[in-house]
Structure 1
């Protein structure tokens, strides 16, 4: 078989919000199969066998068949390479630790050109997976060697570099379970939960309630200890050592054995335990001095180290440490014994996905000191059956949450409150956490801000704890989803006027409104930018603004196709029209949208995201929009100039709400009741008198759409009427649809 030319990746576009494909971000790829358009999978000799050998788990892919093995069935029957690439990329993401189940591939109007999409939590990870999947597929087509494990490693490395850390990801996942939206604010782990004025922020396990003063206290271990001691929390006796000799003096005063550690270190770095000799104390001082500004000498508390997580004053999880030891065989060095007896544990690794760290002896000064105290070095060969201590309490990853004694929980919670931390990792040493510290002689040795959660999420032993959920429940009350009202307005004519009218009415209703539309970006009644702001970036800025408690966002078909919606759900979704969009927005041809059926799939996105407690507002004079009503998870309000339309009649017969024009005024109807509202004709005359270039786009239907959207936001008919009477059209020129 002759070598096939590469599939060409014509365009790659990251859709950051809900889109015509799905509610979630996806990577959309335009593919030109070239000559492979004539070679579906069943026409390439041995292709399916080679592909399933490279990626055996493809058997798990259901595909359109809807059951395990469905994709393999499609391969055997014959499917095109764009579809195959979709599944290859999804499988690489699965293998790399970012499970992905969604993908679609569809033909376009151009021969051999396809649009392929797949779920993409992170754009850079998705692009890496695409590149690796493309290379793997072409190698498989052409019977060439390809290193799949190496490709998976490259995707996983990109995931480690770019995606949220496991602690932050767990909190975000818990927020998603509560339908709380999130926005990543930097390339690291700073995340906004919720929108606008109701948002909260986290940075890993720190929150916007975490006090900088409390963090400073927690970093100063000597100050922490003195504050805890003042309220009766048991802590080890200790003092600050000025130098190595002074450290020994402190040890003698306190009484042996002792612990030497940095005053402001973290993650246990530079901490040496159970010191009984002067030379050991002096050596430990040098290690601790390299990791902090001061060195503490403390009495040694016998027992195992425990890490307890406190959230909002409650202990929500606990993990116990254990010693790491090896047994000599009389032939292997200490390093070899560690590699074969400890580092082979599948729970150990060098990345955050592993609950236990791989031990690198040469890089850990504390381990080297403990070996020296045993008369050993890493290249020494312990005699057969000798037990060698490698690491003390270095594996705090065994869940013991169910074992905590209430008095221990009380002491730990008190410690976090005294320091002032809303979320804290409290380290204590005790021989038995199921007994009071007064019985075991245990003590709290550290209180840490911004604690890691991995030991509780993926313990080496025991049950995982729902710590992400605990943090979300601490930040948000049971009835709080962090959302502010979002009104999304989509269509091709006059949508910026609808948006401005709705924003004005919300302003009169006492809201601090953010508005992103074609004629600018507004905060309240102040236009802060005059450029076209009917786009994802401008809308996102409003959702990030703590001063905004309601937003109105204009969306065009082109902006939905380019970026998706800026919000995951909305309180009110408005679609004004379908007519004129194709001819009025020539940019849609770039996205291969060439008829009303294709446009329908784009515009329905606005209605797909309406909350169950929200409202879809639709123009009843447009049959396609009447059909769209069934897509709304919430209520539907119809509007039209003619209140006798069959769609409005049927909707009202079912008790639904509708808005129509009668005698120059808007009528707000629900079921058989009717309320006369805004003077529409008067507003239209003011638009004309203002000389606004936008007046040509403003008609009675546009005003009725705004009235319906305001009513959907539970603004009273009286206020809507007054608001329309007081709205002042400006004389700004009309802005062409983007």
Structure 2
């Protein structure tokens, strides 16, 4: 059905432009896999769908004919063209063109979607998949330029030229055929990989299971073996001493020495560099001193060390034997670059015809390499009595190179099943002697089907990091799937390649929950890698101190070779900015959804915030679990997005509606963690089907302060559910929770208790109204517990609070209003990073909310503003009396705790409390300001971005 065509207000102008580019490197709010996200502004073209642009569709098809195959939402070939002829907007067209351009570059992508930006007419979110992010972004940019050019031709813009430049760029960043073959095999086995540089260094697997490859060199390739293979003289001597057939050979560094060696060995000879590769500098069948002199210069120019090898010329065919793990896997006969005459075309024309084969490219970009006509080729022609302008007779083969290397334009013929067993044994023995796990053995012999010891022949080279394309894409014969034994070598059948990943998100409690989970598995002897807002922790050692709750930190953990269990705190900002830093998580934990970070990056409602947090739930595989808070309706609705099982946790009392829902789920075989109240207190119970397993009394867990910290009870429930789903034994879960305390060393900045001058001082990170409600309830319960422990009839409750500057005004006021209900005195501070606010602005908004609550009868009787965090802390401690309860909601907890510790030490020594000038340094978290991570900086810089409308369906684009 055709869309309604708006009436244009004037001529169309080519003003389509990209406002923002995001690269999602994992599951994200738009797609289950990595994607490019462009925010585009159609400008005046918003009034011009394709049906109102005469000839636009035909011009586009002339430029990019592959679009005819796109199905789009119609689900049939040509569906996208039908959509264009009916009328669609150019943002949608740019999406399809970006996908097709990547396809032309060999990156097959079929998923994309285009959605309008709510409240911003003419702005569109264009999302499409990618294989390489550089190529994906370049495809989007070229697509937009082409759209504008087809509306009004751009002076100096030639699409064919630009397309060729784009394809060359794609060739430069693409994996070579050998690396690509290994990665395809790894992907087929669900082995994850991470590209470690812009070339071919790749990590396969995660953490402790990781292996690395560089082209066809692997983690198991010995450096000594590579050095031996690179020294052709030494290789020949080692093989010869083992009784293997090798040519006579001598090494020399001078022209005179080369000539003398050739005479001693006897003509014909071969001259080649000691440390060359890909056949460069190799001169064959030299029969005179003059030819040797000329060959010396060629070989010398390709030698890195200046050493030249002279060896006897062995006649026969050129075979490459591939040995992996000591076993023969493939054999290819290599035929030098050549053309076959037809009696009509010159040699030059025949070369052009041969190079027109779409399988041929430059270097190793395709399965065959284009034949290069240079001085060496002309010399080879002259030796056969031809020139480039000669017209060979029909059927006559004319050589253009003497070596059969694929990199010089040669072709390959598969001979894997033709080789004589004796020859196979010789090749395997050669690889073992050199010590290579993956080796290319170059055989020269009359026929590989007969024993070389009888027919004559020799091993002329042993190559480390041999190319695979002659075996995976032979010109003649069946391809050999040689990547399989290489991956088998790195990951034997049955071995693991992934470490368990537990992802934790939510508005409040995610850091403490992540620490509880990590603590439980540390007790099990696991080497836990954890990301959090405090940094990256590897096996309880802080290795990076920054806000590390984003995807880059997750990848850092998965690259660490010590990690065998990963716990990732996942923040909203990282998901919106880059998606997840991995393809899936075995367990997803969602603590709660509350108003925080609203009004940022297009997330204005709790429903939208829940959609963002649900990304980790959607990343759970079928054999994984989502641990969800049944008490939160937004979290409860996430169950529909999980492919795996659900583990509920709830604080609701038996008989309540939520508890009945959870109990019914368990009766049907499900899992849950619940609270069972009794006269002795609340018992944490794990339920699996009809079984109920008692875990621990909540008031006996150190993190709950006798049960007063109900939010840590909820965090303990979530942690227990995650540990149970991950297979931790019940005893170890219980022991982990019993030994986890909110001390500074186990949970820095999260409800840390310090005794200062007989006053209880808590340090916490609470920074939003929802968290303040829970913290305030804790203050009320804790105060009740300690009534009999002090002499004052009514000790004061003093709080230091602050809000991040990027929160909404109403959120800041609500924070102050909630705090005013639980504290007698409030001191409002500000973060060091104002996040776009003027100094004092956010503090005044918080204080305004507190004063409004005081006018309505709230507990608070005094509100002060002290902007600097340390100064505010000193101000509070200066007015604190013994028995008071102080809660410091801080941004830089290390600095605050260091000064409090110093005050305590001075008090114990009977001296005056000092300032922070000589603060005691903590060995793990010193009092210095946490460094801003690249993620935090990127989060701050991404202001004024488009509104995101999270949708989880992946529209079919092709």
Give yes or no for TM over 0.5.
yes
**Structure 2 counterpart of 1:294:** 307
**C-alpha deviation, 1:545, in angstroms:** 0.7
After superposition, give the CA deviation of every residue in 1:270-291 in whole Å (9 maximum; x if it has no partner). 1111222232223222322222
Residue pairs, 1:647-666, within 5 angstroms: 647-663=661-677, 664-666=682-684
Match of 1:618 among 618, 628, 631: 628
Q: Which residue of 2 aligns with 1:398?
A: 413
- C-alpha change, 1:320 and 1:418, in structure 2 (3 Å) is same
Following superposition, the deviation at residue 3 of structure 1 comes to 3.5
Note closer, same or farther for the CA distance 1:391–1:231 as it changes in structure 2 (3 Å cut).
same
Closer, same or farther: CA 688–170 of 1 in aligned 2, 3 Å: farther
CA contact (8 A) 2:281 2:302 kept: yes
Of 195, 200, 210 in structure 2, the residue corresponding to residue 189 of structure 1 is: 200
Matched position secondary structure for 2:701: helix
How big is the shift at 1:616? 1.6
Pick aligned residue for 1:727 from 723, 732, 740: 740
Larger Rg: 2
- Whether the 8 Å CA contact 1:514–1:552 is kept in 2: the answer is yes
Q: Which deviates more from structure 2 when the two are superposed, residues 240-249 or residues 209-218?
A: 240-249
1:36-435 pair list within 5 angstroms: 36-109=45-118, 110-142=120-152, 147-292=158-303, 293-325=306-338, 336=348, 339-340=351-352, 342-362=354-374, 365=376, 367-371=377-381, 373-374=383-384, 388-394=398-404, 395-435=410-450
CA 1:235/1:37 → structure 2, altered by over 3 Å: closer, same or farther? same
Task: Decide whether aligned partners of structure 1 residues 155 and 344 sit closer, same or farther in structure 2, where only a CA change above 3 A counts.
Answer: closer
Contact 1:497 1:698 in 2 (8 A): no
CA offset at residue 346 of structure 1? Answer: 4.1
CA contact under 8 A between 2:70 and 2:78: conserved in structure 1? yes
Q: Distance in 2 between matches of 1:72 and 1:328?
A: 45
In the aligned structure 2, how far is the partner of 1:49 from the partner of 1:228? 65
- Per the TM alignment, residue 677 of structure 1 is displaced from its structure 2 partner at its CA by 0.5
Q: CA deviation at 1:345?
A: 4.2
1:670 aligns with 2:670: no
For residue 667 of structure 1, report the CA deviation from its aligned partner: 0.2
CA distance in structure 2 between the aligned counterparts of 1:27 and 1:302, rounded to whole angstroms: 55
In structure 2, do the counterparts of structure 1 residues 172 and 346 end up closer, same or farther at CA, with 3 Å as the change threshold?
Answer: closer
Contact kept? 1:328, 1:381, Cα under 8 Å: no
Cα gap change, 1:186 to 1:324, in 2 (>3 Å): closer
Q: CA deviation at 1:143?
A: 6.0
1:328, 1:621 → 2: CA distance?
Answer: 81
Paired residue secondary structure (1:613): coil
Relative distance call for 1:696 and 1:147 in structure 2 (3 A) is farther
Contact 1:608 1:631 in 2 (8 A): yes
Instruction: Report SS of the residue matched to 1:698.
Output: helix
Structure-2 separation of matches of 1:613 and 1:384: 66
Deviation at 1:242, TM superposition (A): 4.9
Q: Per-residue displacement from partner, 1:599-656 (whole Å, max 9, x unpaired)?
A: 3432222122223332221112234433433433333211111255233123212211
Give the superposition deviation at 1:549: 1.1
**How far apart, CA to CA, are the structure 2 residues paired with 1:117 and 1:680?**
47
- The structure-2 alpha-carbon separation of the partners of 1:327 and 1:658, relative to structure 1 and needing over 3 Å to count, comes to closer
Alignment correspondent of 2:613: 603
Higher mean C-alpha deviation, range 133-142 or range 48-57: 48-57
Is 2:582 the partner of 1:564?
A: no
Distance 1:66 1:326, change over 3 A: closer
Alpha carbons 2:378, 2:388 under 8 Å: kept: no
**Cα RMSD (Å) of the superposition?**
2.6
Change (3 A) 1:356 1:525: closer
Any residues of structure 2 matched to 1:448-487 within 5 Å, and which?
Answer: 448-487=463-502
How many Å apart are 1:328 and its aligned residue? 7.8
Structure 2 unaligned segments of length 5 or more: list them: 1-9, 405-409, 750-762, 769-935, 937-958
Partner Cα distance (2:695, 2:709) in 1: 24
Q: Distance in 1 between matches of 2:130 and 2:504?
A: 26
Equivalent position SS for 1:445? strand
1:595–1:440 distance in 2 versus 1, CA, 3 Å: farther
Matches within 5 A, 1:645-724: 645-663=659-677, 664-683=682-701, 686=704, 698-724=711-737
Please say which of residues 488-497 and 221-230 is displaced more in the overlay: 221-230
* TM-superposed deviation, 1:401: 2.3
Shift in Å at residue 388 of structure 1? 4.7
Task: Give the aligned partner of residue 871 of structure 2.
Answer: none
User: 670-679 or 208-217: which moved more?
Assistant: 670-679
Question: What does residue 543 of structure 1 align with?
Answer: 558
> 1:685 offset after TM fit, Å?
5.9
Secondary structure of the equivalent of 1:172?
A: helix
Deviation at 1:154, TM superposition (A): 1.9
SS of the aligned residue for 1:309 comes to strand
Q: C-alpha separation between the residues in 2 aligned to 1:329 and 1:551?
A: 65
Distance 2:509 2:538 in 1: 20
SS of match in other structure, 2:400 = strand
Measured against aligned partners, the alpha-carbon deviations of 1:49-82 in whole angstroms (never above 9, x if no partner) come to 2222222221111111112111112112222221
Q: CA deviation at 1:88?
A: 1.0
Could you tell me how far apart the structure 2 residues matched to 1:612 and 1:176 are?
18
Residue deviations 1:107-145 (CA, integer Å, cap 9, x gap): 221222211111122222112111110011112233669
| Structure 2 counterpart SS, 1:401 | coil
C-alpha contact (below 8 Å) 2:720/2:733 kept by paired residues: yes
Distance 2:78 2:391 in 1: 53
8 A contact 2:491–2:497 mirrored in 1: yes
Q: CA–CA distance in 2 between the matches of 1:414 and 1:685?
A: 63
Unmatched 5+ residue regions in structure 1?
690-694
Once residues 159 and 684 of structure 2 are traced to their aligned partners in structure 1, the CA distance between those partners, rounded to angstroms, is 65
Q: 2:130 and 2:578 mapped to 1: Cα distance? A: 13
Q: CA deviation at 1:431?
A: 2.5
| 1:103 Cα deviation after fit | 0.8
